[in-house]
């Protein structure tokens, strides 16, 4: 009797700190997920810029696929998602011109001020509905080496470039394209004025496609070089946060998501964009989601800070160790604006945190536990503050927060956020990005009918932990934090 193997799906999810290949199948009505390969990601200094090693990423994808083949899977579907805004310049010969520059590189430091002196911010926001982050693709292209741009045949967003290397086919998938801050909300195309502003032609971007589009099979030349399964690549929601939102269980009537990884992306899934005055004033974004939705969210510095702290202790502590050390400390011993520019890419994060506390006349954390409690408690305060703003902008009360990603493992932060925001928190799955990647593939293949049934399958398949508010436990700390932020912004703390 030939056992019909359930279709196997592979998610390649590459975040700013780590990448992974996750294999999924539906077994007995549940989604079974297994990690087949994990690898480090990160940028290094090369040729005067912070750059990603994109050949390393390609090699790791093939290594992961060889492991999947060796595990007995001869045929798979595969989707690729990565972090946003960064791109690869591809020359007339179809090869990359150089290793891509990271969004944390200093080259865009003054780009927003320069570009928006010619094109006002409100004009750009009305067109695109996208938040002003100085590393958006628009500002990277504004700062790009003009000679390199002239040699460029195609500008490929990171996940699209990886799909192109595997299959030879180039597209621009819309969820990640929206993070460029160059897509026109009304027209659904790259905006002509913004293209002109950075001397790029529409033709230099491959055609725009929706998530769920079949990209093609892995090229034969790779099959000869590596021992790979037969692999059909599907263009998923290629911005990792878009996949994370698809993979969010969506518990609650008016629920919000917090994709908690290197970045914390806090927001709500909308059916129409919200690019009005209040959203503009609070720098909220309308990144495009899967299935015609919009990810109305704010970028928060997130666990990037924890990653730097861990590295600066020479990886002596695991993340779980650092969370356990923090648990032993008292919360809210100092207030920190975690989104201050100074925390974006400092040479020494621990020093930066201590200097900030000294400059603002606050208690300076000196031990790993105290430093991590400062990080976790101020992230939780920032989340609670932003949830209050979200209620104001959207005009209704968010009743539940779904926290996904690696940060959903930090019970201390899940509980603090629930109490500070006075709403229920559902934590998990931590691999929601990979799950959302796979969900789009399954919907494209007809194995799952739509996103609602996909989210039901997620709830049925993974352990989702609920946290409820310990009402009143922290008194007026949130109000005092909000007053502190207003005071610091008024003082224009140098950052
Ligand atoms: N067991 C854990 N305890 C505490 N923190 C954790 C744990 N697992 C993961 N994390 C946190 O999650 C972060 C990674 O989340 P992840 O979603 O994998 O990020 P990315 O996709 O950006 O690489 C780590 O930086 C760490 O701070
Ligand atoms: C620069 C972008 O805002 C950033 O990539 C963010 O959107 C993102 O993709 C975060 O994903 P991580 O998994 O790296 O936290
Ligand atoms: Mg991630």
DSSP per-residue letters across 341-390 = GGGSS-S-HHHHHHHHHHHTT-PPP-SHHHHHHHHHHHHHHHHHHHHHHH
261 within ligand 2 shell (Cβ under 6 A): yes
In terms of C-beta density within 10 A (0-12 exposed, 13-18 middle, 19 or more buried), how is residue 169 classed? middle
* Residue 431 alpha carbon to ligand 2 centre in Å: 14
Predicted pLDDT at 283: 97
Predicted pLDDT at 357: 98
| Number of the ligand 2 atom closest to the C-alpha atom of 287 | 7
Q: How many Cβ atoms from other residues are within 10 Å of residue 65's Cβ? A: 26
| Ligand closest to the CA atom of residue 242 | 2
**Residues with C-beta less than 6 Å from any ligand 1 atom:** 15-18, 261-262, 303, 306-307, 319-320, 323, 405-407, 409-410
Nearest Cα residue to 282 out of 161, 143, 388: 388
* Residue 37 alpha carbon to ligand 3 centre in Å: 15
In terms of C-beta density within 10 A (0-12 exposed, 13-18 middle, 19 or more buried), how is residue 366 classed? exposed
Residue ranges matching CATH 3.30.420.40 in the chain: 9-239, 250-428+464-495
| Ligand closest to the CA atom of residue 241 | 2
Best of 263, 298, 308, 408 for a ligand 2 pocket test (most atoms within 8 Å of beta carbon): 263
Q: Report how far Cα 315 is from the mean position of its chain's Cα atoms.
A: 23
- Point out the residues that are catalytic: 240
Contact 310, 320 (CB under 8 A): no
- Rounded Cα–Cα distance for residues 464 and 430 (Å): 9
Annotated binding site for ATP: 16-20, 262, 307, 406
Q: Can you tell me which residue has the tokens 């945190």?
A: 353
Homologous superfamily of the 9-239 domain (CATH)? ATPase, nucleotide binding domain (3.30.420.40)
- Rounded Cα–Cα distance for residues 350 and 310 (Å): 10
**In sequence order, which residues have a C-beta less than 8 Å from that of residue 258 and are 6 or more positions away?**
264, 265, 266, 383, 401, 402, 403, 404, 405, 407, 417
Percent of the chain as helix, strand, coil, to the nearest 5: 40, 25, 35
* Residue 86 alpha carbon to ligand 3 centre in Å: 15
- Rounded Cα–Cα distance for residues 481 and 473 (Å): 15
**pLDDT under 70 in the chain at which residues?**
1-6, 492-495
* Residue 445 alpha carbon to ligand 3 centre in Å: 24
| Number of the ligand 2 atom closest to the C-alpha atom of 304 | 15
* Residue 406 alpha carbon to ligand 1 centre in Å: 3
Predicted pLDDT at 2: 47
Own/partner pairs, 356-359, CB within 8 angstroms, 24+ separation: 356/493, 359/493
Question: Max alpha carbon distance in the chain (Å)?
Answer: 75
- Rounded Cα–Cα distance for residues 232 and 222 (Å): 13
Q: Can you tell me which residue has the tokens 């954390």?
A: 365
Q: Indicate the pTM of the whole model.
A: 0.96
Predicted pLDDT at 495: 42
The encoded tokens of residue 378 equal 């101020």
Predicted pLDDT at 118: 87
Annotated binding site for substrate: 84, 239-241, 299
| Number of the ligand 1 atom closest to the C-alpha atom of 83 | 22
Query: Strand locations in 379-442, DSSP E?
Result: 400-404, 424-427
Say yes or no: domain 250-428+464-495 is CATH 3.30.420.40.
Answer: yes
| Number of the ligand 1 atom closest to the C-alpha atom of 306 | 27
ipTM: 0.97
């Amino acid at each position: 009797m030939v056992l019909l193997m359930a279709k196997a799906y592979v998610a390649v999810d590459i975040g700013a700190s780590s990448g992974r290949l996750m294999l999924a199948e539906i077994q007995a009505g549940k989604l079974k997920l297994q990690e087949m390969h994990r690898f480090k990601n990160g940028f290094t200094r090369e040729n005067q810029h912070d750059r990603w090693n994109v050949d390393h990423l390609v090699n790791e994808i093939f290594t992961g696929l060889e492991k999947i083949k060796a595990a007995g899977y001869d045929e798979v579907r595969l989707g690729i998602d990565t972090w946003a805004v960064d791109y690869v310049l591809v020359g007339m010969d179809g090869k990359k011109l150089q290793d891509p520059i990271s969004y944390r590189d200093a080259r865009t430091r003054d780009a927003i001020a320069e570009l928006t002196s010619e094109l006002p911010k409100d004009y750009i926001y009305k067109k695109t509905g996208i938040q002003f982050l100085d590393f958006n693709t628009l500002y990277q292209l504004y700062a790009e080496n003009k000679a390199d741009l002239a040699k460029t045949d195609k500008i490929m967003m990171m996940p699209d470039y990886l799909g192109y290397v595997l299959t030879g086919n180039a597209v621009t998938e819309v969820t990640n394209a929206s993070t460029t801050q160059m897509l026109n909300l009304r027209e659904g195309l790259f905006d002509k004025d913004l293209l002109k502003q950075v001397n790029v032609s529409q033709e230099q971007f491959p055609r725009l496609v929706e998530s769920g589009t079949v990209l093609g099979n892995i090229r034969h030349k790779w099959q000869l070089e590596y021992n790979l399964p037969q692999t059909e690549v599907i263009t998923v929601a290629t911005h990792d946060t878009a996949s994370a939102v698809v993979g969010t269980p969506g518990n609650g009537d008016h629920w919000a998501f917090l994709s908690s990884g290197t970045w914390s992306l806090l927001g709500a899934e909308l059916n129409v964009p919200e690019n009005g005055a209040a959203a503009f004033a609070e720098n909220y974004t309308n990144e495009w989601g899967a299935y015609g939705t919009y990810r109305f969210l704010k970028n928060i510095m997130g666990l990037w800070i924890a990653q730097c702290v861990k590295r600066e202790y020479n990886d002596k502590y695991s993340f779980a160790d650092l969370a356990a050390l923090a648990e032993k400390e008292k919360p809210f011993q100092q207030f920190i604006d975690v989104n201050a520019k100074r925390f974006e890419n400092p040479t020494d994060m621990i020093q930066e945190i201590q200097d900030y506390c000294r400059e603002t006349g606050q208690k300076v954390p000196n031990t790993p536990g105290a430093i991590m409690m400062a990080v976790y408690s101020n992230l939780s305060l920032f989340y609670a503050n932003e949830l209050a703003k979200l209620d104001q902008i959207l005009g209704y009360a968010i009743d539940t927060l779904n926290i996904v990603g690696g940060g959903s493992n930090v019970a201390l932060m899940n509980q603090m956020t629930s109490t500070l925001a006075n709403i229920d928190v559902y934590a998990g799955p931590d691999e929601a990005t990979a799950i959302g990647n796979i969900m789009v593939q399954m919907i494209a293949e007809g194995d799952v009918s739509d996103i609602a049934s996909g989210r039901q399958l997620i709830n049925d398949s993974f352990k989702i932990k609920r946290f409820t508010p310990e009402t009143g436990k922290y008194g007026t700390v949130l109000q005092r934090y909000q007053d502190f932020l207003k005071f610091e912004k008024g003082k224009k703390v140098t950052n």
